[in-house]
Structure 1
Amino acid sequence: MGAMVMTRRDLIRGAAALSAWGTEIFAAEKESRLSVEGYIFQQYAARQKKSLGEVLAEVIPMARVAGFRNVELNQGFFTPELRAKTLDLLHANGLRMPSVYVGGVMHEAAAAAKTTELALEIAELCKPFGCAGVVNNPSPKPKAEEKTDAELILQGQLLNLLGGALATKGSELRIHNHTPEMVNGAREFRSTLRNTGPKKVKVCLDIDWVRQGDQDPYALLLEAGSRVTEIHVRNAKDKLWLETFGAGDVDYSRVAAQMRRNRQVPLIVVELAWRDNTAMTRGLQENLTLGRVYAEKVFGVKA
């Protein structure tokens, strides 16, 4: 996902809109550890051959109708064209946003500076919605090329800087993974654990992507330990993503039990995603609802 730069005027407009709602919109509500990822809304738009803006008013309410009170969106929802509409819809539907996803390059200094600037801007924009975590998946190199040892060391240093900068604003940096971080025995993932400070850089472990990358999610949960403050959950059968979150390749009952043993109490984010050949038998609204019900059952939490 490409970097998005907000102008000072954009930020002032966003702040003005938020000021009418108060500094902490849903502070009185009891917080839930269960959330839903907005990436599926972008896939839904693509399948409808529409832009995200064209479906935004349709999909944001789906999260609340499905029983979620929390949602995690990414920078695609906060372009200058969509930002005000996104914030209005979150407010109108009573949705909190305990975390936000901001991707970008982190292994090159100049590009990482842009990623850092964007992450700080969006974190501040989302703070009135209870946002305390910024999820970042450092962008991979082109053509599936592994990062060099020097690039990984630099990436660790730059992640420490980003984590420190976010901490001064009251936010926490959480590093996410896809399959590139799992290559070669989870080389990049483990490098991040070694080369970053546990107080500055936390972990958002995407359980399914660990499995897709032929690594052991149970082992990495244990290895990351108390740094795991968020997990993303979806499931697959023979690595083919399911239309909703349910039983499949990953035994999430085992994940839940292991987290209890590890004393890990992360934010749990249901992230649906579909392949072109995912068998579809229901609409998105029903799949979101079923995913929420399964997550509540397996993790013993309430949305």
Structure 2
Amino acid sequence: MLNRMMDRRHFIGILPLVTLAVSAFKLKFIEHDFPISANEYNWMTFYQRAGKKWGENWNDCLAEFAKTKIPGLEPSIRDVAQIKELAPYLEKHKIQIPSIYVGKSFHEKEEAKKSISDIMDIAEEARQLGCNIVVTNPNPIQWGGGPLKNDDQLFCQSSHLDKLGKELNKMGMKLAYHTHDVELKAGAREFHHVLQNTDPDNLHFCMDVHWMYRGSENSQWAVFDTLKMYSNRIVSFHLRQSKDGIWTETFEPQGDIDYIRFAEEVKKLGIKAHLVIEQCLEENTSVKFGAVKAHQINYNEVKKLFKS
């Protein structure tokens, strides 16, 4: 059974740790012309539903991913060994990684320093593969509930994110802040503190549209207000749809979120962002398609909506 509040880190733990040599290839990247990607988390949920383990055999997994014709993958990266392990298979199956997702902790000083060091090492490897954006979602104090960060912890987090973003800038990469729902609790104090107390040149915004919707108690107004408020910082969108509060198996323009209006607003605001399909499964999602077919549908819908 899939839990509505799946922790990516629990899934990442199933990935093999065999280290392979990094291949020498580097995929080209054109500023503001990102290839559409799919987040790795989607595939984890599809594989779990099918009783399989994503990452158990990278050649087979990425061969299946390649059948969708989606140009890019946004992998969830745990450490340098993992990005080295992925590299030859990305090259073999001609899959780009315009962005990577890395979850780390930043709200305690010593741990934040280690997180910066770890992400910089990962970013250096990913940059060689054409990666331009590092997406990070600062870990909460406790996944699935627990205390919220206090003011000192929030300041520690924002200051270290700013520092990390500044260092990534020197490498020609962008750091993008991502949230789930916990950051929107208590008047969204964590979400706003991070974006109000960091330099926009150092910390950009990866807007996960559906977590913004769900985290604000299913409010489309919150989605569109956030879009307007932080449009100048958005470099990436995570795109997911639901109906009656449940994630749908495939991305559809109309559902709980009016993505037709959303796409129009994005164009009006002149936002040129990386589009990342994150149509995941949860406990009550209906079953109809396999991972490949579902992602082929997702890719076609996102292209029609945002690239027309």
> TM tier, shorter chain?
0.7 to 0.9
In the alignment, the residues of structure 2 paired with residue 139 and residue 71 of structure 1 have an alpha-carbon distance, to the nearest angstrom, of 22
In the alignment, the residues of structure 2 paired with residue 177 and residue 119 of structure 1 have an alpha-carbon distance, to the nearest angstrom, of 18
TM-score of the two chains, using structure 1 as the length reference: 0.87
Asked whether the equivalents of residues 36 and 68 of structure 1 are also in contact (C-alpha less than 8 Å), the reply is: yes
Which secondary structure state, in structure 1, belongs to the residue aligned with residue 128 of structure 2? helix
Asked whether the equivalents of residues 84 and 125 of structure 2 are also in contact (C-alpha less than 8 Å), the reply is: no
Verify: 1:284 aligned to 2:286, yes or no. no
Equivalent residues in 2 for 1:221-260, closer than 5 Å: 221-246=227-252, 247-260=254-267
Q: CA deviation at 1:50?
A: 4.3
Q: CA deviation at 1:85?
A: 4.0
Q: Who is 2:119 aligned against?
A: 119
* Matched length: 286
Q: Who is 1:129 aligned against?
A: 129
Query: Aligned partner of 1:269: which letter?
Result: V
Question: Which one of the candidate residues 59, 72, 95 is aligned to 1:70?
Answer: 72
In the alignment, the residues of structure 1 paired with residue 34 and residue 198 of structure 2 have an alpha-carbon distance, to the nearest angstrom, of 29
In the alignment, the residues of structure 2 paired with residue 283 and residue 46 of structure 1 have an alpha-carbon distance, to the nearest angstrom, of 12
Q: Who is 1:17 aligned against?
A: 22
TM-score of the two chains, using structure 2 as the length reference: 0.86
Q: 1:83 to 1:192 in 2, by over 3 A?
A: closer
Q: CA deviation at 1:139?
A: 0.6
Q: Greater helix percent: which structure?
A: 1
Identify unmatched segments of 5+ residues in structure 2.
Answer: 1-8
Q: CA deviation at 1:116?
A: 1.3
Query: Aligned partner of 1:120: which letter?
Result: M
Which secondary structure state, in structure 1, belongs to the residue aligned with residue 55 of structure 2? helix
Query: Aligned partner of 1:17: which letter?
Result: V
Q: Who is 1:95 aligned against?
A: 95
In the alignment, the residues of structure 1 paired with residue 282 and residue 198 of structure 2 have an alpha-carbon distance, to the nearest angstrom, of 33
In the alignment, the residues of structure 2 paired with residue 85 and residue 222 of structure 1 have an alpha-carbon distance, to the nearest angstrom, of 39
Which secondary structure state, in structure 2, belongs to the residue aligned with residue 110 of structure 1? helix
In the alignment, the residues of structure 2 paired with residue 155 and residue 103 of structure 1 have an alpha-carbon distance, to the nearest angstrom, of 13
Q: CA deviation at 1:213?
A: 0.8
Deviates more, 1:242-251 or 1:281-290: 242-251
Q: Who is 2:181 aligned against?
A: 179
Same amino acid, percent of matched pairs: 27
Q: CA deviation at 1:83?
A: 4.2
